[in-house]
């Protein structure tokens, strides 16, 4: 392989790796045949300066200043591609920022992660091997966004519509796993493995007919059996893709297990269920019941947390569930809430000492039925209080843009 400047690229070259951050270019993947003039122009206009090309899979360069990789660079690149879950490859620590400062960047991560998952599903459904190496930049950027602000990306993935659920559910669980892992004190390798496990926990649904997954009516016994087989199908798919990480495989196969041995597919006992599986169970259920599906409308987060607390015995690990509630809050960031004062506001940040009294941006008057000048209200220091969550559509508001 050869490393060349972007300005030396030409159509027909095979891009093996784009040097730099995943967010520095408009493509969800960094390994593909460059056969589009539009893609070439987009790459030249991006922040990427150098790329690796593979002359065995596309055109070579005859330019004398093309840099052939030395042994050290080849080892680093191959480790990146073959062992993409290696935590040492996942970048440096990032500084925390406010919800407002992160939300626009989180939207970009959200969009690219969705495109990546759509493409992965398509590849498997066409009979191709799961392109696991493409998951590396997805998890990396989700991890970075959650590290900067736990709430921004998590609040966005909750807003997916029913048509996006199949693809964005995995992105949501990945972000929730990383946020929950932080709350439980996981760091570095352990935290990122949790993210990868979350991204691939439902991989088996790639091998379930899309018509069955999106069926609005009651499933037949045969169809339900196919859906229920997705943990084993996913486990086999990941093994075929040569994923050997035990955490990723464990979460994929066992995220529907229960502490009371009523789960599936292996009816594990409490002592046999790992921490990562306990985390994935909570994250998976929460995102499922708060999302709009083809057969039901999602619950508001406060109701979802209340119901999950009722199901906790035998279903969820108590310590993990309580940590999860501290992670997302009773009213997660981005939630539209009604205040005692007769105003509507959007939750901006949690108060760790009192989850019922977060910081809110007030921006709508119910009495006047119109927007008002935005005001930041810290309910922990204010006499106002939340009466409940509201549907933004009812008031003609965009939930993603308060």
Q: Flag whether 117 is in a domain.
A: yes
Whether 163 and 304 map to the same domain: the answer is yes
Q: Are residues 16 and 140 in the same domain?
A: no
C-alpha–C-alpha distance, residues 188 and 312, integer Å: 29
From first to last of its 402 residues, the chain has per-residue pLDDT tens of: 888 888 888 888 988 888 877 677 777 676 788 888 888 888 888 888 888 888 888 888 765 444 444 444 443 333 443 444 444 344 456 688 888 889 899 998 988 888 888 888 888 988 888 888 778 788 989 999 999 998 889 888 887 877 788 889 999 999 999 999 999 999 888 998 999 999 999 999 999 998 999 898 889 999 999 999 999 999 999 999 989 899 999 999 999 999 999 999 999 999 999 999 999 999 999 999 999 887 788 888 888 898 999 887 889 999 999 999 999 988 988 889 999 999 999 998 888 889 999 999 999 999 999 999 999 999 999 999 999 989 888 898 876 555
- Dist. CA 279–CA 194, nearest whole Å: 9
Query: Considering all CA atoms of the chain, what is the largest pairwise distance in Å, rounded to the nearest integer?
Result: 73
**How many whole angstroms separate alpha carbon 271 and alpha carbon 266?**
13
Pairwise CA distance, residues 150 & 40, whole Å: 35
pTM beyond 0.85: no
Domain final position from 82, 116, 137:
82
Q: Are residues 18 and 51 in the same domain?
A: yes
Q: Residue 23 belongs to what domain range? A: 2-82
- The pair phi, psi for residue 133, each rounded to 5°, is -65, -25
Of 256, 30, 290, 47, the closest CA to residue 165 belongs to 290
Cβ neighbourhood burial of 96 (10 Å; 0-12, 13-18, 19+)? exposed
Q: Residue 206 in contact with residue 128, Cβ under 8 Å?
A: no
Answer yes or no: do 20 and 163 share one domain: no
In a domain, 349, yes or no: yes
The residues near 350 (Cβ < 8 Å, ≥ 6 apart) are: 151, 326, 329, 333, 358, 359
Q: Structural domain tally of the chain?
A: 3
Residue 202's Cβ-count burial label (10 Å; 0-12, 13-18, 19+) is: buried
Distances (CA, A) of 185 to 171, 178, 180, 188: 21, 11, 9, 10
Q: Are residues 344 and 319 in the same domain?
A: no
214, 302: one domain: yes
* 24 & 134 share domain: no
Using an 8 Å Cβ cutoff, are 134 and 28 in contact? yes
Q: What is the CA radius of gyration of the chain?
A: 23
363 and 268 fall within a common domain? no
């Amino acid at each position: 392989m050869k490393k060349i400047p972007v300005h030396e690229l030409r159509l027909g070259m095979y891009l093996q790796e784009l040097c730099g951050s995943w967010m520095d270019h408009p493509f969800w993947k960094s390994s593909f045949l460059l056969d589009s003039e539009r893609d070439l122009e987009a790459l030249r206009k991006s922040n990427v300066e150098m790329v690796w090309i593979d002359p065995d899979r596309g055109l070579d360069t005859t330019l004398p200043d093309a840099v052939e990789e030395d042994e050290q660079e080849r080892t680093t690149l191959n480790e990146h591609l073959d062992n993409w879950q290696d935590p040492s490859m996942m970048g440096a620590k990032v500084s925390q920022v406010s919800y407002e400062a992160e939300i626009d960047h989180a939207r970009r991560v959200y969009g690219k992660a969705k495109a990546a998952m759509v493409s992965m599903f398509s590849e498997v459904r066409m009979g191709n091997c799961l392109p696991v190496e493409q998951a590396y930049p997805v998890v990396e950027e989700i991890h970075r966004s959650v590290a900067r602000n736990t709430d921004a990306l998590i609040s966005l993935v909750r807003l997916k519509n029913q048509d996006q659920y199949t693809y964005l559910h995995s992105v949501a669980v990945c972000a929730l796993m990383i946020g929950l892992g932080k709350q439980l004190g996981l760091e570095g390798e352990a935290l990122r493995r949790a993210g990868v496990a979350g991204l691939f926990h439902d991989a088996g649904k790639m091998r379930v007919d899309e018509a069955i997954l999106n069926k609005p009516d009651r499933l037949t016994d045969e169809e339900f059996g196919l859906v229920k087989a997705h943990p084993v199908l996913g486990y086999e798919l990941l093994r075929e893709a040569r994923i050997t990480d035990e955490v990723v495989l464990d979460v994929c196969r066992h995220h529907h297990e229960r502490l009371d041995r009523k789960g599936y597919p292996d009816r594990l006992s409490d002592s046999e269920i790992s921490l990562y599986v306990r985390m994935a169970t909570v994250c998976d259920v929460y995102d499922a019941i708060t999302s709009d599906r083809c057969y039901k409308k999602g619950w508001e987060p406060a109701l979802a947390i209340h119901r999950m607390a009722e199901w906790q015995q035998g279903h969820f690990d108590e310590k993990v569930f309580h940590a999860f509630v501290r992670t997302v809050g009773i009213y997660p960031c981005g939630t539209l809430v009604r205040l005692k004062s007769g105003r509507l506001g959007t939750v901006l940040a949690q108060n760790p000492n009192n989850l019922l009294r977060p910081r809110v941006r007030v921006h709508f008057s119910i009495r006047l039925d119109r927007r008002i000048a935005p005001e930041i209200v810290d309910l922990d220091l204010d006499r106002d209080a939340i009466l409940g969550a509201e549907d933004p559509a009812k008031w003609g508001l965009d939930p993603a843009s308060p």
